[in-house]
Structure 1
Amino acid sequence: APRAGDVPLVLYRDANAWCPFCHRVWFWMEQKGLRYETQRIHLGGDPREPPKQPWYLREVAPRGNVPALRIGGDEIVLESLDILERLDAEFPGHEPAADDSFKQKMLQTSGAFDTDCDRWLHNTHAPDEAALRGEALQKLTWLEEALRQH
């Protein structure tokens, strides 16, 4: 069976680390203990950011979406769940040391950070500040407890 690091892996993710779909893949790869290179891609949603790199659109993801994973130099996999399935196929002996309920909760939590924490971080309506902050802190508390178990 292949060992982690035998197959070159490149994870293309958002430069600001806000994308929950990138988090999903990133957490999974870390939990599996895989060695990989990270390339950060500017999403271009902020006018202060540079536009997406033309090479990324041409060579990796024509629609410019992240995450993307390059496996072995030639194969490109797009979409976070497809990437997770492909990693499981490539590295079957490197399962995370967590039960299925924990893995499922981690996947749900990565999506929840986009809807809760991100709303708080980008909030411009002062009356919503306390409620959004409270939601975000609840998610962070859960995540901290879950990570403490592993």
Structure 2
Amino acid sequence: MKVNGKARTLDVDSRVTLLDALRERLELTGTKKGCDRGQCGACTVHVDGRRVLSCLTLAAGADGTAVTTVEGLADGARLHPVQRAFAECDGLQCGFCTPGQVMSAVALIEEGHTGSEAEVREYMSGNLCRCGAYQQIVAAVLQAKEGS
């Protein structure tokens, strides 16, 4: 598979999740293990341009795909517009959910689901924030959309 634009080869057991392969084998720890049950969205990554919950995706199933993690968004020191908007809008508190929130936000902007605050809330509903920074997260998504 390609991870953040680089070809990577892994020899993994058929039961290893993409989340564990990214974190433990490739040392890409930006993707967080929250609930490990597909309920919180902290592990959201893109596989072939689609957002997926990496805790529910088998690494073997990602063979031949292009995987993008939060580490793959920035261009060197230049943040992705969504990352920049999250910082500017204070769209984080503890930061644990932020990588998954950012990955979902990037996808929903690309999908065109930013017509209203309600639409953003609906399409971001799979990503939970225990700190309750939802208003700032929505503001960040809408600001990033304007910059796209």
- With the length of structure 1 as denominator, give the TM-score of the two structures: 0.30
Structure with bigger helix share is: 1
Which of structures 1 and 2 has the bigger CA Rg?
Answer: 1
